Amino acid sequence: MSNLRLGVNIDHIATLRQARYSTMLDTPNCEPDVVAAAGLCERVGAQGITAHLRADRRHIQDGDIRRLRENIITKLNLEMGNTPEILGIALQILPEDVCLVPENRREITTEGGLDAVRNFRQLEPTIRRLQSAGIRVSLFIEPSRDQIDASKKLEVEMVELHTGAFANAQGKAQDAEVTRLGVAAVHAHKAGLQVNAGHGINYTNLAKILQIPHLAELNIGHSIVSRAMYTGLENAVREMIELMSEYQG
């Protein structure tokens, strides 16, 4: 059986809720419930729940993070930008993992990796505070040697390789991205970093992702939530886990 773990990103469960109930979160009709969704994912084998508490609160809300912390039985991976406000919440909630990501208010979803080289000095104190609280830290980075080397110097436990360029490419260009991700994964593994990956991974392109060595976790959200509209959330998660079970590492 594969050791590759699935973290289900439930941001878009909250996106659907916010489309109707953004100003009525306390009403009994408010749905869908992100905590109930997380529970369904765990029930069929997801090994973690990922949620991004953005500065603009466009989907996941503070109360969602608190309720997830109280109710999930696997682990909580909190995605966050490097801001004092969200850092304070992370230190109160104490998720098992934090993944530091870039944020741009005009983007639809997180686009591109965090520049650990340029933002080294700003990231370092945040990482130390999180780690001092017992939280494992990951950086969401582009699959490049300089970003991995900076992550190593920052002494984080993990990197999450941004697979967006891979997901948006086709044909030979996509194969080239698989090679680039593979080289980065090997370099990160040799540096002693846990290697995760995420962004744009779906049921179709997963087969090529499984060619990348040393992967420990995949964080997948939009594709699973989209599939769930037709098959139900439990079946969508179960199918993704089954496909991931073919990973040889």
> Is position 249 within any domain?
no
Q: Give the model's confidence band at 76: pLDDT under 50 very low, under 70 low, under 90 confident, else very high.
A: very high
pLDDT, tens digit (0-9, with 9 covering 90-100), for 185-214 = 999 999 999 999 999 999 999 999 999 999
Indicate which residue of 12, 42, 199, 217 is catalytic. Answer: 199
In a domain, 222, yes or no: yes
Q: What is the mean pLDDT of residues 213-232?
A: 98
- Does 40 score more than 60 pLDDT? yes
Amino acid at position 21, single letter: Y
Instruction: Write the pLDDT tens digit of every residue in 8-28.
Output: 999 999 999 999 887 777 778
110 pLDDT above the threshold of 70: no
| Residues of the domain holding 89 | 5-244
Determine whether 189 is an active site residue.
no
* Residue 177 counted as domain residue: yes
What is the spatial distance between Cα 141 and Cα 42, in angstroms, rounded to a whole number?
A: 27
Q: What is the mean pLDDT of residues 97-105?
A: 89
Annotated catalytic residue: which of 12, 42, 59, 79? 79
Q: How confident is the model over 124-145, as pLDDT tens digits?
A: 999 999 999 999 999 999 999 9
Is 22 part of any domain?
A: yes
Residue 130 located in a structural domain? yes
- Average pLDDT value for the chain: 95
- Comparing CA positions, the residue from 237, 178, 165, 177 lying closest to residue 9 is 237
* Beta pairing class for 48-52 and 76-80: parallel
How many Cα atoms occupy the beta-carbon half-sphere of 71 within 13 Å? 18
Percent of the chain with pLDDT over 70: 96
Task: Provide the phi-psi class of 199: left if phi over 0, else alpha when psi is between -120 and 50, else beta.
Answer: left
Is residue 85 annotated as a catalytic residue, yes or no? no
Q: What is the pTM of this model?
A: 0.94
pLDDT interval class at 1 (50, 70, 90): very low
Note whether residue 131 is domain-resident: yes
What is the count of structural domains for the chain? 1
What pLDDT was estimated at residue 77?
Answer: 98
Q: What is the pLDDT of residues 175-188, one digit of tens each?
A: 999 999 999 999 99
Q: Which of 144, 148, 150 has the alpha carbon at shortest distance from 159? A: 148
Higher pLDDT pick, 109 / 154: 154
- pLDDT given for residue 181 in this prediction: 98
Does 79 qualify as catalytic in the annotation? yes
Q: What is the CATH number of the domain that holds 20?
A: 3.20.20.70
- Quick check: is 84 in a domain? yes
According to the model, what pLDDT value does residue 108 have?
Answer: 54
User: Of 52, 59, 162, 187, which residue is the catalytic one?
Assistant: 52
Is 100 inside any structural domain? Answer: yes
